[in-house]
Copies of this chain bind each other. A is one copy, B any other.
Amino acid sequence: MSYIDLKYEPSKDDLICSFRIEPSRGLNIKKVAEAVAAESSVGTWTEVKTMKPRIRNMAAKVFEIKGNYVKIAYPSELFELGNMPEILSSIAGNIFGMKAVKKLRLEDVEWPKKIKNSFKGPKFGIHGIRKILGVKKRPLVGTIIKPKIGLNEKEHAKVAYEAWVGGCDIVKDDENLTSQNFNRFEKRLKETLKMRDKAEKETGEKKVYMPNVTAETKEMLRRAKLVEEMGGRYMMVDIITTGWAGLQTLRNEDLNLVIHAHRAGHGAFTRGLHGISMLVVADIARLIGVDQLHIGTVIGKMEGKKEEILRIEAEIEKSFIKEGGHYLEEDWGRIKPVFAVCSGGLHPGLVQRLMKIMGNNIIIQAGGGIHGHPKGTRVGATAMRQAVDATLKGISLKEYSKTHKELRDALKKWGYKK
């Protein structure tokens, strides 16, 4: 039986994958594409006696091959609705281990409506978050408490307070802080929310704390519910190290909390020509239903090419994505847009450039770029807000810094980009 049909026109119910394939030595792309389609749907390496004619019709079909790029259509009946691990065990499973492929990258997925509607999508999305914060147009400004870990609960809350009153909208835990002996989750939550209330009162602005609930699923749910009970509005979770089953469970609980998704660990499989693109990770996260997602900065300490990051931003923010090249169409329908988080090595001197590249619908997060300010956290946060304000007003950072000494000190320390 064959898994190739270059005349096949995908139906509306098909799930479509775009792969980049480098065949192993001596094999041609057609043969390898077929092996990928077989292994990821109903086939294996040899014909089996237990095959039935009706099952042949469920086979995935390679319907386009252009250079190294291959498109494969999967009948949606192959998949269990609402079960992300199952879907990935098909389209992003064994195929990465096959000897026949030298390099294989899952570049993009187009989800049929039936499958899309079996997931919740974001509860709040960009619009809901802007409503909670009362910030209509500007980028949100956030910080990660630093040092990454080591502060105790009261010290943590104190640093958060400084960041808020200095000008941050958002304060988050770092991705590896959960509930260690030196800083227990419940106590940190209590202390930090207390400081949030104080900062809100003093500044007249809405302030957000994003406690990291990452843990084994039941403990994670317990922590999330605690956040809700204690009056938090947000939680954050490390979606890659937690995994898709845990993330789905967290979202399906339908708590009244914005979900901030940290992507620590994604680089292990998104970065090279073998693995899964960050675009697909973003797709999955939007489908399951995170409200905010780290997607990179183009210009900070983390790797990520401009074109790719902008493509990811469009994928999570827009309601319709046009097909082009090896990228697939996506009609997000009722699934809300996700707020893009830019984080990793940012400081005030990079803000103008960042907003020029990525627009205003972003969350600008800086850890070192705020707490490393020569005058400390509060002044660092002020400098960051000033950089945003300058950009919104169309004034250069250099110019604005003449009348804003907080920004001036930051630019002096870290430099700036136009």
Is the CB of A85 closer than 8 A to any CB of chain B?
yes
Does the CB pair B147–A180 fall under 8 Å?
no
A264 to B92, CA, bound (A): 8
**B214 and A89 contacting across the interface, CB-CB below 8 Å:** yes
The interface bits of chain A over 221-244 (1 if a CB of B lies within 8 angstroms of the residue's CB, else 0) are: 000000000000000001011111
User: What 1/0 flags go to A327-339 for Cβ under 8 Å of B?
Assistant: 0000000000000
Contact for A368 among B48, B54, B100, CB less than 8 A: B48
A28 within 8 A of B: no
Given known A86-B178, A86-B215, A217-B249, contact A302–B267 (CB-CB < 8 A): no
Cα–Cα, bound, A96→B94 (Å): 22
- The answer to whether B367 touches A44, judged by C-beta atoms less than 8 angstroms apart, is yes
Verify if A403 is at the interface (C-beta below 8 Å from B): no
Contact call A42/B149, Cβ cutoff below 8 A:
yes
Residue in A79, A159, A243, A247 whose Cβ sees the most chain B Cβ within 10 Å = A243
In contact, B215 and A266 (Cβ under 8 angstroms): no
* Total A residues in contact with B, Cβ cutoff 8 Å: 103
Chain B min CB distance to A47 (Å): 6
Q: Pick from A43, A44, A175 the residue with the most CB of B within 10 Å.
A: A44
- Interface core residue of A45, A90, A302 (most chain B CB under 10 Å): A45
CA distance A219 to B82 in the complex (A): 11
Q: Report the Cα distance A375→B49, complex, angstroms.
A: 8
- Does A274 lie within 8 Å of B268, measured CB to CB? yes
Q: Are A80 and B179 in contact (CB under 8 A)?
A: yes
Q: Is the CB of B269 within 8 A of A45?
A: no
A263 to chain B, nearest CB (A): 8
Measured CB to CB, the nearest residue on chain B to A106 is B268
> Which residues of B lie under 8 Å from residue A375 when comparing CB positions?
49
- Are A371 and B149 in contact, with the CB atoms below 8 A? no
Which of B77, B89, B92, B149 is within 8 Å of A180, CB to CB? B77
Q: Shortest CB–CB separation between residue A135 and chain B, in angstroms?
A: 26
Known: A85-B238, A89-B176, A218-B252. 13 other contacts (CB 8 A): A44-B367, A47-B372, A52-B147, A77-B180, A78-B176, A83-B178, A85-B215, A85-B241, A92-B265, A98-B301, A216-B249, A245-B245, A272-B274
| 25 contacting pairs across A/B (C-beta < 8 A) | A42-B147, A44-B146, A45-B301, A48-B372, A49-B374, A49-B380, A50-B145, A50-B146, A50-B155, A55-B151, A78-B176, A80-B180, A83-B216, A85-B238, A85-B242, A86-B178, A88-B241, A89-B265, A94-B302, A97-B266, A97-B303, A215-B245, A243-B245, A245-B245, A268-B276
